[in-house]
Structure 1
Amino acid sequence: MRWTSALAIYFLFWAFSVFFVLPFGVRTSDEAGVARVPGQAESAPHTFQAGKVALRVTIVATILFGLFMLNYHFGWVTPNTVDLFDRLGNEGA
């Protein structure tokens, strides 16, 4: 695999990991014991720490990408392993 392909795949893992990591560690104003701003949603976070989120996302994405590359190298799960339609088609024949 070219390094540019690996970089693009890592970027995809990083982008998808944002949605996985974002909800964790969020505290609302009520949980923080601070008065809400008028018009603020009850579920809005009290503070957003982009650095912490980016670090967590990078850690998760690196672990997932590492597992992906290990699978790419060793071939633990291949398309033939998860090909349900071909298996179902050959059973009736």
Structure 2
Amino acid sequence: MAYTISTWLAIYFVLWWVTLFVILPFGVRSQHETGGASPGTDPGAPTISLMGKRLIWTTLLSAGIFAFALAAYQAGYFSIERLSKLMGLPF
């Protein structure tokens, strides 16, 4: 089954967003935890978000996962026949 470039980009796009939502909670310190809550803000709001660092980590991690999945697909581990046999479904 041949995929086009747009299909691979769509898969990477979805994988990138899922990876971002996995990475977001790591290392977040709230205003309540640091004791430096500003008046009028929620105590659970983060003190420093470091979004640039998180976006770089998301891109690197999702590229690694995508490369691994693409290599497994090229090797035949993610073929429809193999996956249906693993799940016990007739193909």
State TM-score, norm by structure 1: 0.73
1:14 correspondence with 2:32: no
1:41 offset after TM fit, Å? 3.3
Larger C-alpha radius of gyration, 1 or 2? 1
Moved over 4 A (4+): none
Match of 1:65 in 2: 66
1:64 offset after TM fit, Å? 1.1
Write out per-residue CA displacement over residues 29-56 of structure 1, whole angstroms, 9 at most, x where no aligned residue: 233342x123533332112122111101
How many residue pairs get aligned? The number is 86
Match of 1:74 in 2: 75
Larger RCO (CA within 8 A; separation ≥ 6)? 1
SS of residue matched to 1:27: coil
Q: Give the stretch that moved more between structures: 21-30 or 40-49.
A: 40-49
Which sections of structure 1, spanning at least 5 residues, go unmatched? 88-93
1:18 offset after TM fit, Å? 1.0
Match of 1:52 in 2: 53
1:85 offset after TM fit, Å? 4.7
SS of residue matched to 1:64: helix
Equivalent residues of 2:32, 2:44 under 8 A apart: no
Q: Share of identical aligned residues, percent? A: 29
State TM-score, norm by structure 2: 0.74
